[in-house]
Structure 1
Amino acid sequence: MNSRILETLEYPKIRTQLAELTITQDGQEQALSLTPSSRRPQVQQWLAETQDGFEIDRLGLNLPLEPTKKINSELKRLHIEAVLNGTELAKIKTVLQNANQLRDFLNDLRQQGANLPSLYRLGQKLVPLPTISQRLEAAIDEQGNILDTASPELKQIRTTLKRTQQRVRERMESYLQSGQRKYLTENLITVRDDHLVLPVKAEARQHFGGVIHDQSASGQTIYVEPQGVINLNNTIQTQKILEKQVIAHILADLSAMLRPYQAQLREDAWLVGRFDFINSKVTYAKQLKATQPQLSDEQHFAFYQARHPLLPQDQVVPNDIILGQKYRNLIITGPNTGGKTLTLKTAGLLQLMVQSGLFIPAGENSQAAIFDEIYADIGDEQSIEQNLSTFSSHMENIIWMSRHLNAQTLVLLDELGAGTDPQEGAALAIAIVESFSQSHCQLMITTHYPELKVFAYNYPATINASMEFDTKTLQPTYRLLIGIPGSSNAFDIAARLGMPADVVQRARQLQPGASQDLNVMIQDLEKQRNQYEQEAQDYHKQRQTLQRQQQDLDQQRQKLQNQKAQLLDQAQAKANQLVDQAQQQAAKIIAQLRQWQQQGRLDIKDDQLIRAQTQLNQLHQQRALQKNRVLRREKRKQQIKVGDEVHVNSYDQDGVVIGQDKKGNFEVQLGILKMRLPQEQLTKLKKIPTKAATNYVSRRRAHDNLPLQLDLRGKRYEEAMQDLDQYLDAALLAGYQEVTIIHGFGTGVIRKGVQKYLSHHPRIKKFQYAPASAGGQGATIVQLR
């Protein structure tokens, strides 16, 4: 991609914003050197890395990264066999720590089943070097200081050093606490020449013996190292020399240990920076509320609700910018400061971002192309040094572009033909569009010339567009309207600003007839668009009203169902209470019958009495069923009269009605028994319903409750197959002729299982995938025999 387009579209600002979000110098360098690619596999890889970074963020996790600096100079010093100091080793240590943490983090995610193929491939390139990393961690801290654990010898030296320094301090403090304080000018211990000394009065300089290291400017104070600590201080100095020697040896060993792994360290540093850069792309996309674009197989793009990434996202007006699908030339007209140039820059910059592996501030399902080159002629490029006018400068750019155009090129031209005579400029602009169009490039231009509006209507693969202008407020709305040319609105604006009506009218008369017709056409199109938008808003409001009404109806239906359930519960409780009373009465009757039997008055068997008692104990459920309104309505249709055969519920016996008293009780002949019973305990015997009628009722009930489709998405394979088997049985019983099985796409396991089951089912007439509008290969339509 040519560097000129990057500057024209302010692409370096995108790189700078990305770099500010990195925490490693390698990541920052990769962000600042980012350049769009014209190779589709490369762009796909970059976008996939960004998508994997988003997936980690969606899981609520963060890449385990710590700030690191570049280690190029350290690797060069290793190459010339130099010994690295502690600070340099600390920088390499941090790189290795990051590499180890990243590798462990990605391995854990892989084991948990996270789908991050691009990051896994990067992670596999990391060289952990665990032994070296552990050695550095034990020897060097984050600031580059050598730790006591670097070697046993160093630890022993520092232990002796600390112990000796403590003895010196204790001895010095004893001078401050004894009677010798009177020889000191101040009651403190200070340091001179890296030795602990006492501030002694000049006249008592011989009292402590030892070595004089300094004196005050007045000569009244002598800084003395007492004789009693000289040997201890000598020991300290000896240990410090040994410490430096051991440290030098440790640094040499560590440098020699790292020297064979220069290539691996360089690769790890770059990869750590790569992960940091990917993380910055995710953070940047979240700031912009950006989405992942789809890569078009053809040379076209469709940025829905696109926003310029360098403008405040809460202030910019989003627009749909589409090019290449139905037209290759987009001619944008409209007033000055209406957003034409911004639209060009937005389209170009979003395309550059996509080809850099970045998500873009646009709506879901936006598409982008992969262009070999993007050319732009935007803004005033007049050159005083080269003595070129604005028009000449634009023409030079356009001439240069014309020599490099092809079908993989996007061209952005701002104010084409401007800077010269309007008639000549318009003619030249039309000729340039025709010439560029022959190369099959994608072309977006802005213009004020009305001739190009008419040209766009007649020229193939070309369409008008405009930036909307509100004539009521005299302000641009910054909305891009594709398919509608813009008018200058000069007359309307002048009239609203107070221009006399006769002047405006005269100006309209002086306007050429063709221009008048064009403006009338444009105004008519704008009126139609406004009408369609108003109708769309009205339909939207109506739909919202219907949705609210539907919600109210659903709530009322739910309320009625709850009330119905409550009433049924109350009725069942009442019915059970009545049954309890009936059971008590029946128990008394059975007891009386048993007593009569014992007395020899009745020929009743014990098994009949036991069966009667069992039937009475089951009356709770039967009574509850009798509360059903359908059953009550059916019972009211049956009128018992003398001569009817009836079933006595309380005794589970059939009998004949032989009479009825004044209270409405029926006299029933039960074998040798005659009993007077109320109607509630009698059921009129009727013919058993035919099998066909029974099947019809069952089919109707199944049909009323069974849906026409089965959703198996989200279920395990065994559960889905069991549900499918039960559903098809119910559908056949309900008499369905066609049902839909929704199995989704997923891994295809359930879809294959469904089709295998259907192919072996004897009652399946035919099955096939659903149409694209009804789910496509995510659902199967089944015809039943």
Structure 2
Amino acid sequence: MIFPKNAIDKLGFNEIKDLIKEKCLSEPGKEMVEKIQPQVKLDQIDRFLRQTQEFKDLLVHDAPLPVDHLYPIKPMAEKARVEGSFLGEDEFYRILLSLRTVYAVIRYFKEREGQYAHLELLFEHLPIEMNIIRRIEAVIDERGKIKDSASRLLLDLTQQILKSEQEARKRIDQVFKTAQQNGWTADGNLTVRDGRLCIPILAENKRKLKGLIHDESSTGQTAYIEPEEVFHLNNKVRDLEFERRREIIRILTELTSVLRPHVPLLMAYHGLLSKLDFVRAKALFAIDIEAEMPELSKEAEIDLVGARHPLLLINAKKDSHPSVVPLHIKIDGKDRVILVSGPNAGGKSVCMKTVGLLQLMTQAGLLIPAEPTSRLGVFKQIFADIGDDQSIESDLSTYSAHLSKMKHFTEFANARTLVLIDEFGTGTDPLFGGPIAEAVLEALNKKGVRGVITTHYSNLKVYASNTDGVENASMLFDNVEMRPLYILQIGKPGSSYAYEIAQKIGLSREILEAAKQKVGMEQKKVDTLLVDLERDKKLIHDTKVAISKRERELESLKTEYEQLQQYLEENKKQILREAKEEARQILKDANRLVENTIAEIKSAQADKDKTKELRKELHRATDRHVEKRPQTKTVETSQTDDVFEVGDWVKILDTGTEAQVIEVSKGTNLVLALGDLRTVVKRTKVTKLKGKERAKVVRKNKMMSTESVAEFQPEVDVRGMRTDDALRQLETVLDRAVMIGYPTLKIVHGKGDGILRKFIRDYLRKYNHVSHFEDEHADRGGDGITYAYIQ
């Protein structure tokens, strides 16, 4: 699929694998990373990509996966498979820890069933055999040593050994004390020789103490003797220890026999842990390079949006360089081959390598640093000609090496082949290299290959301009400041800026003029035209950027206007609804009044005085519902020179509503708090409350605040949330805490990989009313909980 084999290394794919291996926790995981190869089956690539994307989401937004112990089970399972063999205490302990990890992982995903569908496929139909763990736990303790209670005989032997050792120690202490009293001992205490506890005796007294001489000092003045009676006790201890060791081997052999039927399951568990470590490493690397999952296509096409070279991105982060300029490039059935030209050190090779590396990464199941709207197809062959492959052993010059690759390309390439060629045609006389390169490009184009080719040759630029399927592209260059912009522009060829760059470097004017005279007039015109086109392209590009910015501003204003209009419409409907309801009530009351009046007139039998009085009452009731026209007056504005500070109480003149100042802008605006709402009002539209009026409002709001404080919960739990949702909820609770004057807020975000904690703390740093924040005490959650202090 890849030709030549070293193309993978030249595109930087092996460096990517090395970086992923650094993220692995186990050797089997590293071995799986080493075996990563580009695939050609679309469904397989899709599954690998989705597993990595799901694990990335898990790391960023969910609780940490319990992968504390990832010991390789396979070697121990293969050892247990052999009849008569047995595993050691440490090997059983590693199996125990690994099985606990496996079961914790299976439980983790079962609790989230359906949330990570592609990761769940890793352990589909994999049973949990708790019996294995129980049998091992009955024999091995939490320190990885065999339990004394593993068998009755082992417990008896252990107790006998302990008793015998105590007796031997007691006896040697007595002998040592007697020897000291008799003056037989040398300076010093009991010492160990050949694994036995001995008494230091002066050489002239060594015959006075019966026992075995284990050693003597370098001067021969001191002999180290184990007393005879202690010697027999120690031998007894040694015999008991041998017997205990035989019992331990018997127990381990029996436990290994219990484990043997489960060897296939253990191998499956080993595979699960290895795959989890492998996918986890890919996901961690994806987070490092800000990678996303692109869309996959059945067609042989590439549409990269906002793509960046991952190795450049990592180096830029390490060196705190400005961000890498994103690449936008599209290769499809219409524009199959992109011919990139432009200045030296302008980014042509990086552009070509970025396309090749991201295609390899995608087909290998790795997320890529590009927008998720990017679309990539599957290529069955990737051919690359990058760098100098001359070989003394094979008698190949640089150009011969290039030609041998071109021969392979033209013979075996097809419509499902991605061709990457750097500096096409170089290595020989341009008069011959250019035409040969053009002929090769024509042959490749007829085969329908896709690819990216970089060149300086003018004849190739002309060929691309006149040929369907081949499209010119150039790397933009600022010919005023004489610096590359690293932006790819499709549609026009680029100048090499040879004279301009030579002039900037400082080559003398005489040499440059002589060089220009040696170049034909037509070539000079072409190069000048290309330079002018480059200048025009940059101007158009800058204009497009400015227009896009203006369009975004207009769109924002339009959205704001529509929201305001919707708000007014909703208020208008509310007022009309209330007015209609009031009118309906007035009519209802009026009808009742008229009916009562008529009834009273009838009962008074048309008495004139009584009728007149009833009429007057009816008119008075009518006048109560007639709206008096208010006198026209201008909107009241504050004429005072009040100085407003945070915490002041003010009255909004238009509505008569009281509010508290929570922020004083540098301009003419104030940010006011109306209950749980915020609003922005000009200073001239409010008046500052003083004296009794202010005290009354403060007293009323204190009562409301006391109720709010009683209801307020100074803790927010955002574990398992997405970053945006977590910050939205945090903002709501923070605002409420500021409004009611609560001093602290407890934020529970969990530990995980620290992503959510980082975003929350970045947000707290920008929040004006948070004075500082700190971790919870280590015993109560540590850096999984943040305390924010509100000023």
Partner residue, 2:163: 163
Q: Does the residue aligned with 2:198 lie in a helix, a strand or coil? A: strand
Amino acid at match of 1:361: P
CA distance in 2, matches of 1:72, 1:108: 23
Taking structure 2 as the reference length, what is the TM-score of the superposition?
0.67
Compared CA separation, residues 545 and 343, structure 1 to 2 (3 A): closer
- The TM-score normalised by the length of structure 1 is 0.68
Match among 40, 47, 50 for residue 52 of structure 2: 50
The equivalent of 1:116 in structure 2 is 116
Shift in alpha-carbon separation, 1:174–1:119, aligned structure 2, 3 A: farther
The residue number in structure 1 matching 2:139 is: 139
- TM-aligned CA distance change 1:420 to 1:142, over 3 Å: farther
Give distance in 2, aligned partners of 1:626 and 1:305.
Answer: 57
1:682 aligns to what SS in structure 2?
helix
Provide the C-alpha distance between the structure 2 equivalents of 1:63 and 1:279, rounded to a whole number of angstroms: 10
Q: Structure 1: how far apart are the matches of 2:567 and 2:167?
A: 88
Is it true that 1:484 corresponds to 2:492 in the alignment?
yes
Distance 1:561 1:477 in 2: 49
Q: 2:331·2:337 contact (CA, 8 Å) conserved in 1?
A: yes
Pairwise mapping of residues 391-540 of structure 1 onto structure 2 (< 5 A)? 391-496=399-504, 511-512=519-520, 514-540=522-548
Report the CA distance shift for 1:627/1:500 in structure 2 as closer, same or farther (over 3 A): farther
Contact 1:328 / 1:443 at 8 angstroms: preserved in 2?
yes
* 1:396 Cα deviation from its structure 2 partner: 0.6
Paired with 1:4 and 1:353, the residues of 2 have a C-alpha distance of 16
Q: Is residue 19 from structure 1 mapped to residue 21 from structure 2 by the alignment?
A: yes
| Bigger radius of gyration | 1
1:390 matches 2:398? yes
CA deviations on 1:144-180 (whole Å, 9 max, x unpaired) are 6434344332233223322332343344456677894
CA distance in structure 1 between the partners assigned to 2:102 and 2:63 by the alignment: 12
Distance in 1 (CA, whole Å) between partners of 2:44 and 2:557 is 52
- Asked whether the equivalents of residues 63 and 279 of structure 1 are also in contact (C-alpha less than 8 Å), the reply is no
Paired with 1:238 and 1:192, the residues of 2 have a C-alpha distance of: 19
Residue aligning to 1:737: none
1:330 CA displacement = 0.6
Q: Could you tell me whether the CA contact under 8 Å between 2:7 and 2:386 is conserved in 1?
A: no
In structure 2, the partner of 1:728 is none
Question: How far apart are the structure 2 equivalents of 1:560 and 1:201?
Answer: 110
2:250 aligned residue = 249
Structure 2 CA distance for partners of 1:490 and 1:176, relative to 1, 3 Å: same
Q: Which residue of 2 aligns with 1:329?
A: 337
Q: CA deviation at 1:681?
A: 3.8
Q: Which amino acid aligns with 2:28?
A: D
- 2:307 corresponds in structure 1 to 306
Aligned to 2:453, the other structure's residue is in SS state strand
Map 1:120-131 → 2, pairs under 5 A:
120-124=120-124, 126=126, 128-131=128-131
Partner of 1:213: 214
C-alpha distance 119-163 of structure 1, shift in aligned 2 (>3 A): farther
What CA distance in whole angstroms lies between the structure 1 residues aligned with 2:570 and 2:65? 51
Query: How far apart, in 2, do the equivalents of 1:501 and 1:647 lie?
Result: 103
Distance 1:12 1:650, change over 3 A: same
User: Which one-letter code corresponds to 1:439 in the other structure?
Assistant: K
The alignment status of 1:184 with 2:185, answered yes or no, reads yes
Native 8 Å contact 2:80 2:87 kept in 1: no
After superposition, give the CA deviation of every residue in 1:42-80 in whole Å (9 maximum; x if it has no partner).
212222321232243244233333454545555554455
Q: 1:226 & 1:23 partners in 2: Cα distance?
A: 54
Distance 1:626 1:430 in 2: 83
Write the deviation string for residues 693-716 of structure 1: whole angstroms up to 9, x where unpaired.
Answer: xxxxxxxxxxxxxxxxxxxxxxxx
Query: What is residue 35 of structure 1 aligned with on the other side?
Result: 37
Q: For CA contacts below 8 A with separation 6 or more, give which structure has more relative contact order.
A: 2
Deviation at 1:86, TM superposition (A): 1.3
Q: Does 1:375 align with 2:376?
A: no
Write out aligned runs for 1:332-731 (5 A). 332-496=340-504, 511-512=519-520, 514-543=522-551, 545-546=553-554, 654=597, 671=611, 673=613, 681-683=621-623
Decide whether the 8 Å contact of 2:90 with 2:145 is kept in 1.
Answer: no
Judge conservation of contact 2:65–2:108 (CA < 8 Å) in 1: no
**Aligned-residue RMSD, C-alpha:** 4.3
Rate the CA distance shift 1:133–1:556 in 2: closer, same or farther, 3 A.
Answer: closer
Distance 1:502 1:70 in 2: 71
Give, as a single letter, the amino acid of the residue that structure 2 aligns with 1:420. Answer: T
| Alignment pair present for 1:5 and 2:2 | no
Q: Secondary structure at the match of 2:311?
A: coil
Bigger shift: residues 61-70 or 18-27 = 61-70
2:787 alignment counterpart: none
Q: Residues 648 and 683 of structure 1 are in contact (CA less than 8 Å); yes or no, is this contact kept in structure 2?
A: no
Aligned residue number for residue 102 of structure 1: 102
Alpha-carbon distance in structure 2 between the residues aligned to 1:241 and 1:648: 113
| 2:738 equivalent in structure 1 | none
Quote the offset at 1:376 in angstroms. Answer: 0.3
Q: What is the aligned counterpart of 2:64 among 62, 66, 69?
A: 62
Q: Kindly provide the CA deviation profile for residues 329-380 of structure 1, in whole angstroms up to 9, marking residues without a partner as x.
A: 1100012222212222211111111111111111222222211110101111
- 1:64 and 1:98 in contact (8 A); partners too: no
How many pairs align?
A: 608
CA contact (8 A) 1:654 1:670 kept: no
Deviations 1:455-513 (A, max 9, x none): 11110011111122222232222222222211122333445566777886786676545
* Cα distance in 1 for residues equivalent to 2:266 and 2:580: 86
Label 1:190 to 1:494 Cα distance change in 2 as closer, same or farther (>3 A).
Answer: closer
Identity %: 31
Q: Structure 2 counterpart of 1:343, which letter?
A: C
TM-superposed deviation, 1:299: 0.5
1:89 aligns with 2:91: yes
Residues 312 and 682 (structure 1), Cα distance of their counterparts in 2 relative to 1, 3 Å cut? closer
Q: 1:5 corresponds to which letter in structure 2?
A: A
- Cα 1:364–1:400 shift into 2, 3 Å: same
Code of the aligned partner of 1:487: S
Q: Cα distance, 1:389 vs. partner?
A: 2.0
| CA contact 2:594–2:618 (8 Å) conserved in 1 | no
Instruction: Name the structure 1 match of 2:723.
Output: none
